Homo-oligomer: A and B are copies of this chain.
Amino acid sequence: MKQHFIALCGGVGGSRLADGLARRLDPDELTLVVNTGDDFDHLGLRICPDLDTVLYMLAGLVSGERGWGREDESWNAHQTLQALGAPSWFQLGDRDIALHLYRNALLASGRNLSQAMARIAAGLGVRHAPAPVTDEATPTTIVTDDGDLSFQDYFVKHRADVHVRGVRYGGQAGTILSAGLEAALARPELAGIIIAPSNPFLSIGPMLATGRLRERIAARNVPVAVVSPYVNGAAVKGPVERLQRDLGLPPGDAGVLRHYGDLVDLFFTDSDRIAAPAGVRVVVGDTLMRDAADRANLASRILAALGAQA
């Protein structure tokens, strides 16, 4: 029997590990589960930043420079919106808009988000269709000294430069997990769960809070591997360090480990100065994913540590 693995992914870091895993595993060996806590509506379009970043990465279309959106992109619609005086604080490329229009049409036809993304993935030739953690709208709210902010207000408008008191996840205990995630959790051959080096508070946290996923994972009793978002002592991307400070967690890997707690069995980091908590095996090595080879190598190391059969 083939083994199966679940990977929980956010945006840029998640998309890179997702690509590495997809290079090592067949579609029926891997379920890529993606955060939807950042999703929102803009100009009537359903925006799914993390799903699309993973999708574009898997399709080989992602912009290497930006990390999101398509490398091959034009901005004529965006410039026209600016010229019209329309809301244009959120950048959408012309080709990216096409994906959004198609997703809207698929959703309007009655498909749920999982089904819409599967159809779009097929259209892009992507074999490992990413699954949203849930098809329900579960927006993340950032609680700050100045009041509650939506994720995009926090991340784009405020550039994450505010003191965060807490993060309120949209996913509830009763939120229904996506069919793809449920099916993966039910597989008898499930051999491990991988948490990508995405923001633990803004990308992974929302998923673990949804539909009791954290408890569901613990109950499956398969090894859980976490990849640290820190490289050379600094977060590769995004406001991880600031959030740990604001939320009263220790800096660096120690804060990440504290956040994930007893969920972690294996911890992948490039730091050899980590005091491993009881029950956690720390695996030291290069975790920076500069290119496709890095991504595939990290995936191989994680799968080997999880006991994957070659």
Interface on A for B, CB 8 Å cutoff? Answer: 43-45, 73-74, 76-81, 83-87, 94-95, 97-99, 101-102, 104-105, 108, 120, 122-124
Choice from B74, B76, B77 contacting A101 with Cβ under 8 Å = B77
Give every chain B residue within 8 A of A79 (Cβ-Cβ): 95, 98
- CB atoms of A44 and B104 under 8 A apart: yes
- Looking at the assembled complex, report how far the CB atom of A279 sits from the nearest CB atom of chain B, in whole angstroms: 46
A74 to chain B, nearest CB (A): 5
For A122, the chain B residues whose CB sits under 8 A away are 85
Chain B's closest residue to A84 (CB) is: B123
Q: Which residues of chain B have C-beta atoms less than 8 A from A45's C-beta?
A: 101
Nearest residue (CB) in B for A77 is: B98
A77 and B94 form a contact (CB under 8 A): yes
The oligomer's copy count stands at: 2
Q: With A and B bound together, what is the CA distance between A74 and B77 in angstroms?
A: 9
CB-based contact A44/B101 at 8 Å: yes
* CB closest chain-B residue, reference A106: B86
The CB with the most chain B CB atoms within 10 A, among A74, A80, A105, is that of A80
A44-B44, A105-B86 in contact; A81/B98 too (CB < 8 A)? yes
Cα distance A76–B72 when bound, in Å? 10
Docked Cα-Cα span, A123 to B87, in Å, equals: 12
Given A94-B94, A97-B97, A102 and B86 touching (CB < 8 A)? Answer: yes
A48 CB, min distance to chain B CBs, angstroms: 15
A36 and B39 CA atoms in complex are apart in Å by 34
Best-surrounded residue of A73, A85, A98, A99 (most CB of chain B within 10 A): A98
